[in-house]
Amino acid sequence: MLSKRQFETRLRGRLPPPPTCAPARAAVAAILRFDRDAPDVLLMKRATRPGDRWSGQVSLPGGREEPVDADLVATAIRETREEVGLDLARRGRLLGGLPPTRAIARGAVLPLAIVPFVFELVEPAPLALNAEAAAAFWLPLDRAVAGELDATHRYRLGPVEREFPCWRYEGHDVWGLTYRMLRDLLDVVTRG
């Protein structure tokens, strides 16, 4: 069973240095709640939009660093407020971060490093999705760890269809970068 204490203990002091592996930087927020004595993480389904490499996919709230951001934690907080209406500066508590992940879209490695930061939602709040988010939902991480949500996502890139591991929950496939970042988080918490 995953506990709040495990996340606090294993993530304490884990704040990665700014990434140097890519010229552009982004940050995402893995927002946890423990309403049922087990962790749920907030995910959003991105709206279908031309020009968005991850259009229609499930993701963590977040986005590219802007000049107004003091650091990448500020990026994650700003992007979360913009996309899903949660003010993590007021209603969240930073637990830690994970190493940067290189962005991949449509089979190509992009010149973008994404840093995941983990927050606990300490005060419930309604979500207010902007135009970038078509939906939002809470994924039960204990069920993911137990293997109950394991599935395969098929993705077509030109004439080639590939299969990727994913979690399937309430009609949503969590795969790709989001799946990889959440697997990294669970590895840190369960293996230390």
Of the two residues 52 and 177, the one the predictor is more confident about is 177
Predicted pLDDT at 54? 67
* Residues in contact with 24: Cβ distance below 8 Å, sequence separation at least 6, in sequence order: 64, 65, 110, 111, 112, 113
Contact assessment for residue 175 and residue 164, using Cβ atoms and an 8 Å cutoff:
yes
Predicted pLDDT at 192? 58
- Burial tier of 91 (Cβ tally within 10 Å: 0-12, 13-18, 19+): middle
Instruction: With a cut of 90, say whether residue 58 has pLDDT above it.
Output: yes
Predicted pLDDT at 19? 77
Distance CA 84, CA 72 (A): 18
Q: How much of the chain exceeds pLDDT 90, in percent?
A: 73
* Residues in contact with 131: Cβ distance below 8 Å, sequence separation at least 6, in sequence order: 47
Instruction: With a cut of 90, say whether residue 16 has pLDDT above it.
Output: no
Predicted pLDDT at 49? 79
* Residues in contact with 16: Cβ distance below 8 Å, sequence separation at least 6, in sequence order: 97, 98, 99, 100, 115
Predicted pLDDT at 38? 92
Lowest mean pLDDT among 78-87, 100-109, 154-163: 100-109
Overall average pLDDT of the 124-128 stretch: 93
Overall average pLDDT of the 87-96 stretch: 97
Predicted pLDDT at 25? 93
The two three-digit tokens of residue 58, written as one number: 């499930």
Instruction: With a cut of 80, say whether residue 15 has pLDDT above it.
Output: yes
pLDDT in tens, 129-155: 999 999 999 999 999 999 999 999 998
